[in-house]
Structure 1
Amino acid sequence: MSDEPEPQQSPPGATDPPPQVTGTDPESRRSAIDRALNLIERLGNALPDPAVLFLILMGVVWVASAALARVEFDEIHPVTDEPIRIENQLSGPVLAEFLATMVETFVGFHPLGVVLVALLGVGVAEHTGFINAGLKALLGVTARHLLTPMLILVAIVSHTAADAGYVLVIPLGGVIFHAAGRHPLAGIAAAFAGVSGGFSANFIPSGIDPLLQGLTQAGAQVIDPGRVVNPLCNWYFTSVSSALIIVLGWLLTDRVIEPRLAGTNVDGDLSDLRPMERLGTREWLGLASALASMIVSLALLAAVSLPEGSPMRSPQGGLTDSGALLMRSIVPLIFLLFLIPGVVYGYVAGTVQDHRDVIKGMSKSMSAMGYYIVLAFFASLFIKAFNDSNLGALLALKGADGLRALNLPPQVTIVGIIALTGAVNLLVGSASAKWALLSPIFVPMLMQLGLSPELTQAAYRVGDSTTNIITPLMPYFPLVVVYCQRYVKGTGIGTLVSLMLPYSVSFLVCWTVLLVAYWMIGLPLGLDAPYTYP
């Protein structure tokens, strides 16, 4: 027998003392992360409706521009080569011009047309059942635990087609996960992370490569008129980055995001989502016919685009140049490449009786976008006021000047470029607009420190991508909120920010480490891409 006293039994109904949890316990760390993300969600959702938030921010811009209009700044605008000036948005002529051009500002808001035109075709494909049938077939050959990396891979590839990922891959992420019995918001988050958080991770060259290259070359020629930058100077690095984004996105989605969503009920109106039973004979025939029509359409597009004298090429002869008609036609092509197989599927599978059913599918997709149209109206007005005021340019220039004054070691400077770009990205969403502003500053500045334009561009692309997914000022952010509300009605800005923050922080840290390690090992960034200058 043991001489140790028997343990005292707690009386019925007594509460056991809470276990002592150390700060290093994994569950403790997870609980702390959950509490922090829940706090961010509550604070974010306490913000006004996104449409009203854009209206308030526009008022802030107006007041700030009026207050700073008479202040003289030393920063030189890289485009005009003159001291930057804040334009008063509350002056009589500016307000009159604002009212006179309000319709043009709204109608010309780029994301609005992209979304509506693309969704006309996607809406038909969804209404006739083509997308549903394709997902059934996809789920039949993809293991449930591999859905996440497959979705992120598709999201990364979608960068080749301009903004296709925002209007196609992200909503399909929710549909795929919901059909597989997983939380749809996790699918939307994973797709959003791949499309926007990993925007510069792609192993397929796209229109953004020559667009950024042109701005980088112009910046380099400020101090070296003969310096030429290859459009694919970051290709190898962005290809390797694809693997990083897929692995990180997979781990975060399955280990962090989806467990956190376990207690979030799906309470949206999903009546238009058809159940995912097995495909019948006629559905298989419809799917085969639809895919055949899509292949024929792509073959015709290739036949028109590939010849050297093709009108789809740019004046320089490239197909992926930003000026190529092929790149400028991506959204209409999305419309056609979903409309045609959607109609074919509908007639063959028997889900469409006549043309009225096709128009009904378009109408249904547009009726679901009413809220986004309201958001786009106020967002377009805010962005115009913010850009016209020059406040964004002033903030970017002051940040760049502060970084230059620190005179840091090269590796630390590159990390600073990434961090500054990520911060500016919270205010200015367009990758090309930011680089047009920053490249005349960053590129010559780092060339004088012995760092190549190609390395500077790579650092910019990392910072530009990673914070896209946590700023409500990114033009497509409100659209992703709308996608989430389809499944969880109470989704707000805070909900989406709290979902995406783990991706953003992880991408920013790990991608920065990858670039520095890539540089230290000496692996080539891309074609004709040295690390040093001269």
Structure 2
Amino acid sequence: MFSRFLDFVERAGNKLPHPFMLFVYLALGIIGISWIISFFNVSFEHPETGEMEQIQSMVSAEGIEYIISSMLDNFTGFAPLGLVLVMMFGIGLAQKVGLIETFMKKTILNAPKSLVTYAVIATGIIGNLASDAAFVIVPPLAAMVFYALGRHPLAGIAAGFAGVGAGFTANVIITGTDALLAGISTEVASNVSSEAFVTPVDNWYFMLFSVLMLMFIGTWITEKIIEPRLGKYDPSLGEADVKDQKLEEITPEKNRGLRNAGIAGLVYLALVSLLIVPGNAILRGEDGEIVPSPFLENIVPIILFFFIVVAISYGLTVKAIERTRDIPEYMADAMKDMSGYIVLIFAASQFIAYFEWTNLGAFIAVSGAETLTNINFTGLPVIVAFILLAALLNMFIFSGSAQWVLMAPIFIPMFMALQYDPAFVQLAYRIADSSTNIITPLNPYVPMVLAFMKRYDKSAGFGTLFAIMLPYSLIFLTVWILILVVWTMIGLPIGPGVGMNL
């Protein structure tokens, strides 16, 4: 039954156009829908101003002028664009000089035998700093470690893939994902309320706790469900060279690089703390508060400089950086990896701008909020329903940012009308998006992980992979939802000064 469902998802998802073209078609759809609805003089009361608004047609003199005149501003003014590109200067530099890869390998290889599974999952989660690199490094490395310890290598691959994929949105520090999603949320929420703003740290408390939850739950799934199901590994099932594989030790030079990067990072954090901790510190608010404050408002540049400092320290030690010109060249190389994202954002920014200009977004939000209120479907049940819907859609749209661009213009205004903080809505989406990453056939890394599996079991297929990963996905999603419900009922903040309600 589930296999047939996955086959359907794969067929349906493969028929979807490229995300860029998807947003082009959606933008054209907004133009057509606004033109049709404008004939019916549909009006509604704007939730912020209290004034009556009408659906504006884009097939009009004003609409056509807006399409032409706003195109560049829609793109260059799109909040996530600058945030993500700036973050990638630092993270990309750390990745290109080899710091993140070495850190991931060091963490797994040096873990005590009893803590190897924890280390694999934690490294996968934290490794999402390196985005694609984590998918390439962690699962095969985990398989080799498990095999060397006499454990089933497919269980290692499963644990690594679960950490990287299902834990993609969680981390102990602020990442590019935080900046990207917060930018999209702010772009949408600011159209509902001019004061609405979502910062990259608004989900940090919850996501920090999520790292621990995923580590313990993921380890339990691996050792109590996956390994017993796989049984004892038979090396004859794998490729001929499986027995001869060896774990590459971290070189002394790279170990020194990690040490120097750690020292440099601690010195940097100590200096930054001097700008935050004292009561009259310059990064505190006007009355000495942390929330809000210049520190939180400028968290992206602070994190950028942290990654630049540790990356340069590591790069100089291992001689990956020998000249000053190497630094901008590594950054430029990292930006090449972002070219697809930049192209996608051009189309996505037009779609969101059209959606807001026509007032379709506000109309759907107001109508949807009124309907939910009238049927008394509010509170946590509607948030849980939203998570399940997003998890289902993630089976068809793998890109987390692309899916959020589609969902945010509808659900953020709707939930804001019900007095939910946009950062809380974003958090609910992140739970759904992460949990099902590892079981959607549209995940571009699924074939690669399957290739890793075939190295150890030549008969392994997609069915094997999804059967192994399904427990992680379902249990992570269930536990995450339960934690969110309890977290909210207790009234804990999900980030600095941020809770469930506005």
TM-score by length of 1: 0.62
- Which amino acid letter does the alignment assign opposite residue 44 of structure 1? G
Instruction: Give the share of equivalent positions with the same residue, in percent.
Output: 26
Distance 1:524 1:431, change over 3 A: farther
SS in 1 for 2:90: helix
Distance 1:139 1:320, change over 3 A: farther
- Which amino acid letter does the alignment assign opposite residue 269 of structure 2? L
Supply the distance in 2 between the matched residues of 1:58 and 1:311 (Cα, whole angstroms): 44
Deviations 1:443-463 (A, max 9, x none): 4xxxxxxxxx9xx99985774
Equivalent position of 2:491 in the other structure: 525
Supply the distance in 1 between the matched residues of 2:287 and 2:130 (Cα, whole angstroms): 30
SS in 1 for 2:271: helix
Deviations 1:174-214 (A, max 9, x none): 53334434898985764454454899xxxxxx999xx99xx
Query: 168, 173, 180: which is aligned to 2:142?
Result: 180
Deviations 1:249-288 (A, max 9, x none): 66789979xx9xxxxxxxxxxxxxxx97312222222221
Q: Does 1:381 align with 2:347?
A: no
C-alpha displacement of 1:320: 4.2
SS in 1 for 2:490: coil
C-alpha displacement of 1:98: 2.7
Equivalent position of 1:96 in the other structure: 65
- Which amino acid letter does the alignment assign opposite residue 145 of structure 1? T
Distance 1:59 1:510, change over 3 A: same
Equivalent position of 1:277 in the other structure: 248
Query: 81, 100, 114: which is aligned to 1:112?
Result: 81
Deviations 1:321-353 (A, max 9, x none): 3xx222232222232212222122222222222
Equivalent position of 1:150 in the other structure: 122
Distance 1:43 1:245, change over 3 A: same
Query: 334, 346, 353: which is aligned to 2:303?
Result: 334
Distance 1:525 1:174, change over 3 A: farther
Contact 2:168 2:434 in 1 (8 A): no
Distance 1:192 1:135, change over 3 A: closer
Query: 362, 378, 384: which is aligned to 1:393?
Result: 362
Q: For structure 2, list consecutive stretches of 5 or more residues without a partner in the other structure.
A: 145-155, 173-178, 194-202, 230-245, 394-402, 452-465, 494-502
- Which amino acid letter does the alignment assign opposite residue 45 of structure 1? N
Contact 1:418 1:460 in 2 (8 A): no
Supply the distance in 2 between the matched residues of 1:429 and 1:253 (Cα, whole angstroms): 34
Deviates more, 1:188-197 or 1:360-369: 188-197
Deviations 1:43-65 (A, max 9, x none): 11221111111101111111111
Larger Cα-atom Rg: 1
- Which amino acid letter does the alignment assign opposite residue 138 of structure 2? I
Supply the distance in 2 between the matched residues of 1:184 and 1:116 (Cα, whole angstroms): 31
Q: Equivalent residues in 2 for 1:78-477 (5 A)?
A: 78-142=47-111, 143-147=115-119, 149-151=121-123, 154=126, 168=130, 172=134, 174-181=136-143, 190-191=163-164, 193-196=166-169, 277-321=248-292, 324-407=293-376, 414-419=380-385, 429=405, 437-438=413-414, 441-443=417-419, 463-468=428-433
TM-score by length of 2: 0.65
C-alpha displacement of 1:306: 1.6
- Which amino acid letter does the alignment assign opposite residue 416 of structure 1? V
Supply the distance in 1 between the matched residues of 2:297 and 2:447 (Cα, whole angstroms): 31
Contact 1:62 1:385 in 2 (8 A): yes
- Which amino acid letter does the alignment assign opposite residue 363 of structure 1? A
Contact 2:387 2:432 in 1 (8 A): no
Distance 1:178 1:384, change over 3 A: farther
Supply the distance in 2 between the matched residues of 1:130 and 1:112 (Cα, whole angstroms): 25
SS in 2 for 1:309: coil
C-alpha displacement of 1:299: 0.7
Deviates more, 1:140-149 or 1:57-66: 140-149
Contact 1:459 1:515 in 2 (8 A): no
Q: Equivalent residues in 2 for 1:7-86 (5 A)?
A: 32-73=1-42, 75-86=44-55
Supply the distance in 2 between the matched residues of 1:81 and 1:317 (Cα, whole angstroms): 35
